[in-house]
Amino acid sequence: PTPFISMLRVRPLFIPEQTKNPYIAVEVIDKQTVIFRHEINQGLKSITKDKLYMCTKVIPPVGKTNQILSKGILDLVNDSFKGFSQSVFIIGGKFSGKTHTFLGNINDPGLAFQISRALYQQKQKIFINSKIFVSFFGFENGFRDLLAFTGHYLEHVSTQNGCYLPGLAQIQCNEYHDFLCGLKCALKNDGKRDINRSPFTSFFKEFLGGKGKSYVIGNCSPFIYDLEYSMRTVRQIQWSFKSTCNPQQNFWQGNVQESFKSNFYKTIQFFKPQQ
């Protein structure tokens, strides 16, 4: 069994938050530990106060997105080319910094760009003959194809080999520029996602203690009035820190192109729920 790679990113206080209440409720102790220091209870259990929470890595408020995976990006990319399913979960409450971690900005690119850039760099250096196929989908009351949305939702199918979405569009992106064009189109058609719906969690069940390798990245706010959301996120991160999965290598059988069309073979999955 392989442990989950669980990380926690604590964002800095925004200027309006500093004006309203400069007290920091989430304090980074070291590279693996955070602690809650709240002065008001807000109806929460008192045992949470001054309790240490651990994970694989903690990114402090002054940290950059490239510190989240750092050298681990190459391991993630190389394992994907070798046939291991990879999943990157980005979780957190409202205004916790999920979008910044996922997309970032010019000075601090998000994981979507860092991982995809590393993917194409390794393809040019080592895996020259490999082909990259990309799909984008969203979830709001049902699965929506973000590349070719027809107004109808996709029905997910569960089998012994995993879950897949028949009819989900896949485009071949052998150049980084092609991937960026697909991502731009998907973000334009993006919608809210609800992680509490059973079809969505069912689709990702193989990454939650199943056959895939999972990276769980929590984003939390140190603002005192976001304390409840931050506590939920940190508890989920600590749960993943103590959990394990059993990654298994995917082997091709039959027609490779048909396997891509059926979406049985999943490499890097990005998952950013909205609260």
Return all residues near 16 (Cβ < 8 A) that are at least 6 apart: none
Task: Let me know: does 136 contact 182? Beta carbons within 8 Å.
Answer: yes
- Per-residue pLDDT tens, the chain, 275 aa: give them: 677 889 999 999 998 888 888 888 888 999 999 988 765 554 444 545 567 888 999 999 989 998 888 767 888 888 888 888 888 888 888 889 998 999 998 889 999 999 999 999 999 998 888 889 898 888 777 788 888 877 778 887 777 666 778 888 889 998 999 999 988 888 887 754 444 445 555 556 655 556 778 888 999 999 888 888 888 899 889 888 888 777 777 654 433 333 333 333 334 454 444 44
Is residue 94 part of an annotated ligand binding site? yes
Is residue 251 part of an annotated ligand binding site? no
Note the pLDDT of residue 85: 80
* 22 three-class SS: coil
Distance CA 109, CA 64 (A): 9
* 154 three-class SS: strand
Q: Which domains does the chain have, with CATH numbers?
A: 2-271 (3.40.850.10)
Is residue 188 part of an annotated ligand binding site? no
Is residue 151 part of an annotated ligand binding site? no
Is residue 210 part of an annotated ligand binding site? no
Is residue 97 part of an annotated ligand binding site? yes
Task: Let me know: does 165 contact 156? Beta carbons within 8 Å.
Answer: yes
Where do the H-state alpha helices sit in 64-191? 66-69, 72-81, 98-102, 111-125, 176-188
Distance CA 180, CA 113 (A): 9
**What digits encode the pLDDT tens for the residues 224-273?**
888 888 888 998 898 888 887 777 776 544 333 333 333 333 344 544 44
Note the pLDDT of residue 168: 86
| Structural tokens at position 133 | 């196929």
Provide the whole-model pTM: 0.79
Task: Let me know: does 187 contact 62? Beta carbons within 8 Å.
Answer: no
Distance CA 231, CA 93 (A): 9
Note the pLDDT of residue 143: 84
